[in-house]
Structure 1
Amino acid sequence: MAGAPRAEKRLLIVAHVPSPNTTRLRDAALEGARAPEIAGVETRALTPFETEPDDVLAADALLIGTTENLGYMSGALKDFFDRCYYPVLEKTEGLPYALYIRAGHDGTGTRRAVESIATGLKWRAVQAPLICRGEWQEHFVDDCRELGMAMAAGLEAGIF
């Protein structure tokens, strides 16, 4: 029925996955968000290149994943913001989001860049960014799973 409220909340994961390990991080976040104990949240995962402004406009929250590239966000995520910024500007104010970064160094520049754009969009960070720093560690996968679960559970509970 047109105009009827949606029964489910929508979580959109926008993640750059250029390697098997970054794919594992995205898949873990998706698995966490789709945990069986969480009901009423529809979760989709798209790459930055696949994501369109309408995907963002339809979301109730975002989980953004990127690599650290030369002290900045991935070019793919930058492309996403370049294409989606103006079409969603002033239409998604207050949109809850969280960020995870796969950083070979410290992730500082990447964090700053994403937060600057999110601030311009007036999105609301619901937790500090998860920065998976340095050499690969298996716990990064669990950390991303927990982040995905926290985002979906927060939506389900109406916390954000």
Structure 2
Amino acid sequence: MTARLLVVHHTASPATRELLESVLEGTRAEGIEDVEVDVHPALSATASDVLAADGVLLGTPANIGYMSGAMKHFFDTVYYPVLDAKPALPYGFWIHGNNDVEGARRSVESIAGALGWSLAAAPVLITGPVGRDEREAAYELGGTLAATLMG
């Protein structure tokens, strides 16, 4: 049976786009089998997407100490429809910020925790430029979440 990994992202900058591409490469790593990856911008992802998913990966910039407004919109849209339907849903996330990501981290973890989702991999938190190490961490995050969903 094929598992479905939902990737919800807000990629407003070249840095967040690079991280998304690395995450997606990780989900296609050698040895990953029977995992379908469904990718949606945060403003178009729906409760139906979450309900069809076996795991979720979230990507957002840190904006003024918080997750992006687009990611908050995603959570606002799906919160009640999925609240009781997806307890312990495995999830992971990455955040990029120019100078601080802790407020954004707390906000994502707070809402995902209220939904009852289960953190399946350490978050990838990046401040400043995105280089090789940061892309590798994002790649590993994608691979870890995909591997978590394999049979």
When normalised by structure 1's length, the TM-score is 0.89
Give the aligned partner of residue 61 of structure 2. Answer: 67
Q: Is 1:91–2:85 an aligned residue pair?
A: yes
Counterpart pick for 2:111 among 112, 117, 120: 117
Q: Does 1:100 align with 2:94?
A: yes
| Residue deviations 1:24-57 (CA, integer Å, cap 9, x gap) | 2111111110224211111121110120100000
Aligned residue runs from structure 1 range 129-140, under 5 A: 129-140=123-134
Give the one of 124, 127, 133 matched to 2:121: 127
Residues 108/57 of structure 1: CA separation in 2 closer, same or farther (3 Å cut): same
Which 4+ runs in 1 deviate beyond 4 A? Answer: none
CA-CA distance at 1:153 after TM superposition = 1.1
- Does the alignment pair 1:10 with 2:4? yes
- CA distance in structure 2 between the aligned counterparts of 1:122 and 1:99, rounded to whole angstroms: 15
1:154 shift after superposition: 1.5
Shift of 1:106: 2.7
Paired AA for residue 70 in structure 1: I
- Give the unaligned 5+ runs of structure 1: 1-6
Unaligned runs of 5+ in 2: none
Task: Please tell me the root mean square deviation across aligned C-alpha atoms, in Å.
Answer: 1.2
Q: Report which of the two structures shows the higher radius of gyration computed on alpha carbons.
A: 1
Over 3 Å counting, the alpha-carbon distance change for 1:41 and 1:30 in structure 2 is same
Question: Is the CA contact 2:15–2:129 (under 8 Å) kept in the aligned structure 1?
Answer: no
The offset of 1:63, in angstroms, is 0.6
Letter in 2 for 1:112: R
Q: Percent identity, aligned pairs only? A: 44
Q: 2:43 aligns with which of 49, 52, 66?
A: 49
TM-score, normalised to structure 2, is 0.94
Kindly tell me the number of residue pairs found equivalent between the two proteins.
151
Residue equivalent to 1:3: none
1:151 and 2:145 correspond:
yes
Secondary structure at the residue paired with 2:125?
A: strand
- Map 1:22-61; keep pairs closer than 5 Å: 22-61=16-55
Deviation at 1:132, TM superposition (A): 0.9
